[in-house]
Amino acid sequence: MVSRTIPVDPFDLVIIGGTGDLARRKILPALFRRFCAGQMGEGSQVIGAARTEMDTSAYRTMVEEAIAEFGGDEKSSKAKLKKFIALISYVTLDAKGDTGWDELAEAVKSEHVRAFYFSVGPNLFGDLAKRLQKHGMADDLCRIVVEKPFGRDLESARELNKVLARHFDESQIYRIDHYLGKETVQNLMAVRFGNMLFEPLWNSQYVDHIQITVAESVGVGGRGGYYDRSGAMRDMVQNHLMQLFCLIAMEPPAKFDPDSVRDEKLKVIRALDPVTPDNIVRGQYEATETKPSYRKQVENRDSNTESFVALKANISNWRWAGTPFYLRTGKRLRERASEITVIFKDAPHSIFEEDSGRHRNILTIKLQPNEGIVLDVTIKEPGPGGMRLIDVPLDMTFAEALGPDQAEFPDAYERLIMDVIRGNQTLFMRGDEVEAAWAWTDPIIADFERGDPPLAYATGSSGPDEALALIHRDGRAWREIKA
């Protein structure tokens, strides 16, 4: 893997919940890849900590298995794996009791930056914070990383913030949203604020509307129980889509530093109008011949939780008043494809009589599966026959534009974990941002609870027909969901 590796001082990373799914699938493989890239200085250590009773040797075997399964290209490097495994140890620890805390305090090195990744349910965050402090590990060198879901509504998010603030300063709390670690998401800021070309047009005078789609082709899988208690609005919109929304809509920050960026994001959320029920559609996927329905998968035949949501949002500020934002996300849709699309307005007047078609500049920021940026521009179709216009893509798909070597970049978790170690909070959510996002989301969810059940949609479709109507009635159309 090619990456410009900035060396960092040796550090300790403690994964609390180190035997769990997230640790095995994401955190440990990400650390291994950073190790292979030379970014874990000599003397760094990774400590797995969880309730499961096991010793370091058994944990190391578990880590090896996880890397074999989820480690990507680097997993074949046996020599590197051996060295990485040597940095790992394990402590049996109970978040709610005294087991393991003295041992953990002894294992961490007092002179190192120390990150504690809370890879456990949020109900344990308070206990963990309290015990880290009690056992002398919550000093200035300490940082904590907390996973989503950060609360399930404004009240619980406030409570979580309050609990963490009792033991840690905001500058020590890293609320992770892995969407912000994606290369293209950061590139979105580079494109907006590194070029003269876009920013003058980035407003309601020139932008007709913006679409954000995060589509998954899979269903809820093994996460049925959790998902059925949250739904697409809590699981995706409140965090991932909202973060993308903020980055696309925010004012240029004065600097690319954590508080300047997060101040601007917060202003976007605060300027959002409430979403009325006629501007939102929610759905739930049906069974196919071979795949079970949502209700069957979550084992709740009366479930009214949505696996799809589409909504129209408006921002009441000078830049965006009059430009709607259409957001949608769902499971079991036709393809796994996530993108943000900025659709510019038509040219005010066409000078080409032969041309009757509509041409629009469209900027597409593709997030997955292929990261890249494409700008559709109108040109003359080559050859004789008059001024016939066609739209062609200026394709900045990274693999093509930069070559395969340059286009391989660390995955989101790798980047974000190293940002924690470096002490850079720019790509992490601040407490007030999370609360503002819930303040906007809560009334929508309350309307869901009072309103009709979600509409059925077919697996492999683009969601319920009503979601198409939501945008059609404004004389617009969703972009096709395609990878």
Which positions are catalytic?
240
Alpha-carbon span 114 to 421, nearest angstrom: 8
CB neighbours of residue 393 within 10 Å: 12
Q: CA-CA-CA-CA torsion for 134, 137, 143, 149, nearest 10 degrees? A: -40
Q: What separation in angstroms does the CA of 147 have from each of 15, 16, 95?
A: 12, 11, 16
> In the complex, what is the shortest distance from the CB of residue 289 to ligand NAD, in angstroms, rounded to a whole number?
29
Cβ closest to ligand NAD, residue 19 vs residue 172: 19
> In the complex, what is the shortest distance from the CB of residue 338 to ligand NAD, in angstroms, rounded to a whole number?
16
Q: Would you say 113 and 421 are in contact if contact means Cβ atoms under 8 Å apart?
A: yes
Q: What separation in angstroms does the CA of 170 have from each of 141, 150, 270, 430?
A: 13, 15, 20, 8
Q: Which residues bind ligand NAD (CB under 6 A)?
A: 17-23, 50-52, 93-96, 119-122, 124, 147-149
Buried (b) or exposed (e) across 134-170, using 16+ Cβ within 10 A?
Answer: ebebbeebbbbbbbbbbbbbbeebbebbebbeebbee
- The three-class DSSP label of residue 343 is strand
Cβ closest to ligand NAD, residue 113 vs residue 145: 145
Cβ closest to ligand NAD, residue 134 vs residue 472: 134
Cβ closest to ligand NAD, residue 342 vs residue 427: 427
Alpha-carbon span 472 to 466, nearest angstrom: 9
> In the complex, what is the shortest distance from the CB of residue 58 to ligand NAD, in angstroms, rounded to a whole number?
13
Residue 477 is classified by DSSP as: -
> In the complex, what is the shortest distance from the CB of residue 192 to ligand NAD, in angstroms, rounded to a whole number?
27
DSSP per-residue string spanning 153-187: SHHHHHHHHHHHHTTS-GGGEEE--GGGGSHHHHH
Closest CA to 47 of 28, 64, 34, 65: 28
Alpha-carbon span 84 to 63, nearest angstrom: 10
Relative to beta strand 389-395, strand 207-215 is: unpaired
> In the complex, what is the shortest distance from the CB of residue 104 to ligand NAD, in angstroms, rounded to a whole number?
11
> In the complex, what is the shortest distance from the CB of residue 120 to ligand NAD, in angstroms, rounded to a whole number?
4
Cβ closest to ligand NAD, residue 44 vs residue 92: 92
Which residue in the shown chain puts its C-beta closest to ligand NAD?
20
Alpha-carbon span 210 to 316, nearest angstrom: 15
Cβ closest to ligand NAD, residue 39 vs residue 92: 92
Q: Would you say 244 and 276 are in contact if contact means Cβ atoms under 8 Å apart?
A: no
Q: CA-CA-CA-CA torsion for 58, 60, 66, 69, nearest 10 degrees? A: -100
Closest CA to 242 of 209, 218, 216, 266: 266
> In the complex, what is the shortest distance from the CB of residue 368 to ligand NAD, in angstroms, rounded to a whole number?
15
Cβ closest to ligand NAD, residue 336 vs residue 359: 336
